[in-house]
Amino acid sequence: MKVLKGNILFILGMFLLTGLHSYAQDDAEEITFTMNLSKEELGLNERLRVDFTMNKDGDNFKPPQFEGFKVVMGPSQSISSSWVNGKRSFSKTYTYILVPTARGNFTINQATIEIGGQTYKTTPKKVEVTAAVDKPNSQKTVDDVADESLHLVAEVSKGNPYLNEAVTVIYKLYVSPNISVTNYRPLDNPTYNNFWSQDIPVTKHTAQNGTYQGKPYRYVILKRVVLYPQKSGQLNIEPLSLEIFVDVPTNRRDFFGGRIYTQTSKTVSAGSRTINVKPLPEAGKPGDFSGAVGDFDFSVTTSKTQLNASESLQAKVEVSGKGNLKLFQLPEPELPSSLEVYDPEYDEDISTYSTGMEGKVANNYTIVPSFRGKYPIPSISFSYFNPSTGKYETINSEEINIEVIEGPSGNSDNNVSPSASKQLVVPTGEQFHFININPNLSPIGVNRFFGSRLFFILLLAPLLLIPIAILIFKKREAIASDVAGNKIRQANKLARKYLSTAKNELGNKEAFYVALEKGLHNYLKAKLHIETSEFSKDKITHILSNKGVKNSDIEGFIGLLTSCEMARYSPFSNVQMQQDYEKASEVISNLDKHL
């Protein structure tokens, strides 16, 4: 019995030691970083695949120069992670596709990466490039074709602008005629640090013909943005990254001889761009310069030059033109102290185009004189920097004289403190209302009802009510006999009722979509005169198209019906319900304009 017990303890100890040893091996797994070549000898017309693989994730990957080769694709990343028997397996690979540029013996030098604070390097490998072969065995894959056929480019209008000068960035997606793009989604939108930015909406993605690296391509403008740099020096424009879904043709054919296409997705990036922002010159900078950069006009105007005391006038300080209109302060007028001046109202009318902001900004001052006299508004200046000439320019307004014709006399120097005698502002026009002094009284106690105007009105009122009652009765009969009109009115009421019910049921999926679907049904009954038995998406699309309704509104209406159908089988969030309700209100409003 003691021998058996000792054997059992020995076996358990061995299992425990084996488990600890296995755990220690897993915890101290060796870090590897290797380079693998698809072949060490290739023809001049073949392609070489180079993989840099690591078993731990790292940072600051630096590939070699690839001397003697041209990179036609890459780097593309692939990550593999799995758990087998409680052990984690991880692999990350950077892949490049190269084509040789000449015959000879070449070396793929080492790549480096930082893992866990240490730098790891690959071992250099030699490659021999021979004469072109008859049958290259490096056939392109679907991913290779997609990588070579998609290019996202950020076109910058100026690489060396002045501080606060407009810079336009246009993102173009170049697509080879060999493939077709089905959809895309943004992965990483740039934040434009150190820039004031304004997006210019792209309302329609129209494909245009162009060239990329000397080859014919089609391109689409995906995004336009105007940037105004807010600091000088080297500024980076972060890249825009997209996931593109494409159809790539293969060498296979279907039963009817048509080419078979394969769908794949690729991540493309516009790359980081750097611009050198020049500071504004200090030489010749005016003392009143407030940061305006562009080409501007400047004016100071008043609504009137003659008025009475306690009346008001408007003084406008306005800057118009092209430049950073939202990024500087307007100059303030210097007015005599005896003129009461209220805080200005800011007004702007600015549009943003591909070349920058254009329009005007203004401060509107309300001025009220308190005393009779003449008050000059001195000339004021506005200075700005013109990047096209590289010089500062100054515009001076004209002096304006305000004459107060009537009112109390003030000091001759017109410098009375505004707080000494504030008066109520009286608008121009009729400033006084006279009291009617004719009381139009009548003797008390005299009975004047018989023969009065009220007596005859009450006498004739029944005779006047008879034809009105007849008209109302005939109108009700006409409404009752109008069956089609009654159906339309009833459908309109039901549509409003169920849309209101749908709004009250937000958060309750089944009740919301039932009410929304009934509201859409009744709306179409009222507008298109069709019954529920005739209700089909194809017929709705056909009828709305004939009515001249926009395709976007038709698609929105059909999409709402589809959401109502899918809600019976799929989970829908509160956010989705809110979006569908807002979409229904928008679509019905748009349809009302056409129907």
Q: What is the mean pLDDT of residues 197-222?
A: 90
Residues 117 and 185 in one domain: no
Same domain, 100 and 150: no
Backbone phi and psi for residue 476, each to the nearest 5 degrees, phi listed first: -65, -35
124-176 pLDDT, tens digit each = 999 999 887 765 655 567 777 887 888 999 999 999 999 999 999 999 999 98
What band does 554 get if pLDDT is binned at 50, 70 and 90? confident
Q: What is the pLDDT of residue 4?
A: 45
Residue indicated by tokens 């010749």? 284
CB atoms inside a 10 Å sphere around CB 129: 21
Q: Grade residue 542 by pLDDT with cuts at 50, 70 and 90.
A: confident
- Residue 450 maps to a domain: no
Above pLDDT 70, what percent of the chain? 79
Instruction: Mean pLDDT check: name the lowest of 13-27, 203-217, 505-519.
Output: 13-27
Percent of the chain with pLDDT over 90: 32
Residue for token pair 């709705």: 540
Say which residues have a Cβ less than 8 Å from residue 310's Cβ, sequence separation at least 6: 368, 369, 370, 407, 423, 424, 425, 426
Strand order in the sheet with 87-100: 33-37, 48-54, 87-100, 69-84
Task: From 358, 375, 404, give the residue that closes a domain.
Answer: 404
Please tell me whether residue 458 adopts helix, strand or coil conformation.
helix
* Alpha carbon distance 408, 521 (integer Å): 73
Split at pLDDT 50, 70, 90, the class of 328 is very high
**Residue-level pLDDT at 226:** 95
Cβ atoms 307, 428 nearer than 8 A: yes
* Coil, helix or strand at residue 496: helix
* Bridge partner residues of 341 (DSSP): 367
Residue 48 lies in a domain: yes
**According to the per-residue pLDDT averaged within each range, which of 43-47, 202-206, 446-450, 509-513 is highest?**
202-206
pLDDT, residue 55, reads: 86
Domain end, chosen from 102, 136, 170, is at 136
Contact 174, 151 (CB under 8 A): yes
Q: Which residue has the higher pLDDT, 562 or 66?
A: 66
- The residue type at 45: N
Asked whether 572 and 565 are in contact (CB, 8 A), the reply is: no
Same domain, residue pair 317 and 383: yes
Q: Residue 481: CA atoms inside 13 Å, Cβ hemisphere, count? A: 6
| 263 and 166 fall within a common domain | yes
Whether 584 is covered by a domain: the verdict is yes
Helix then strand count (H, E) for the chain reads 8, 30
Cα–Cα distance list, 131 to 4, 45, 337, 459 (Å):
75, 8, 92, 120
pTM of the model: 0.50
Judge if 573 and 522 occupy the same domain: yes
Mean pLDDT of 453-465: 78
- Beta strands per DSSP E along 69-131: 69-84, 87-100, 104-108, 112-115, 118-121, 125-130
Tell me, yes or no, whether 160 and 273 share the same domain.
Answer: yes
HSE (CB half, 13 Å, CA atoms) of 569?
4
pLDDT at 484 > cutoff 70: no
> Which of the listed ranges 333-342, 375-384, 522-531 does the model predict with the highest average pLDDT?
375-384
- Do 314 and 228 fall into the same domain? no
Nearest C-alpha neighbor of 226 from the set 358, 49, 357: 357
- Is the alpha carbon torsion for 414, 419, 424, 426 positive or negative? positive
Q: 294 pairs with which residues across the strands?
A: 323
Of 375, 404, 433, which marks where a domain is finished?
404
Residue 18 falls inside a structural domain: no
The overall average pLDDT reported for the chain is 80
Q: Is residue 440 part of a domain?
A: no
pLDDT digits (tens, 9 = 90+) for 216-228: 999 999 999 999 9
Is 364 part of any domain? Answer: yes
Say what the pLDDT of residue 182 is: 85
Counting Cβ atoms within 10 Å, is residue 211 exposed (0-12), middle (13-18) or buried (19+)?
exposed
218, with CB counted inside 10 A (0-12, 13-18, 19+), is middle
Most confident range (mean pLDDT) of 261-265, 326-330, 471-475 is: 326-330
- Does one domain contain both 265 and 152? yes
pLDDT at 406 over 60: yes
Pair (321, 269) in one structural domain: no
Does residue 378 share a domain with residue 259?
Answer: no
Per residue in 226-245, pLDDT (tens digit) is: 999 999 999 999 888 888 88
275 has a pLDDT exceeding 70 = yes
What is the structure's pLDDT at 197? 93
The answer on 522 and 574 residing in a single domain is: yes
Which of the listed ranges 250-259, 261-270, 396-405 does the model predict with the highest average pLDDT?
396-405
For 125-137, what is each residue's pLDDT tens digit? 999 998 877 656 5
3-state secondary structure (DSSP) of residue 33: strand
Three-class SS state of 560: helix
The CATH number that applies at residue 377 is 2.60.40
**169 shares a domain with 111:** no
Q: Among 323-332, 462-471, 562-571, where is mean pLDDT lowest?
A: 562-571
pLDDT band at 435 (very low <50, low <70, confident <90, very high): low
pLDDT of residue 23: 45
Provide the CATH number for the domain around residue 104. 2.60.40.740
At 373-383, the pLDDT tens digits run 899 999 999 99
Integer angstrom CA distances of residue 136 from 19, 44, 235: 51, 9, 45
d(CA 342, CA 228): 33
In a domain, 399, yes or no: yes
pLDDT tens figures, 70-101:
888 778 777 777 766 667 778 888 888 888 88
Domain of 519: which CATH number?
Answer: 1.20.120
Measure the CA–CA gap between 66 and 73, rounded to whole angstroms: 13
Q: Supply the pLDDT for residue 95.
A: 87
pLDDT band at 7 (very low <50, low <70, confident <90, very high): low
The answer as to whether 213 is a domain residue is: yes
Domains in the chain, number: 4
**Domain coverage including residue 368:** 294-404
269 or 521, higher pLDDT: 269
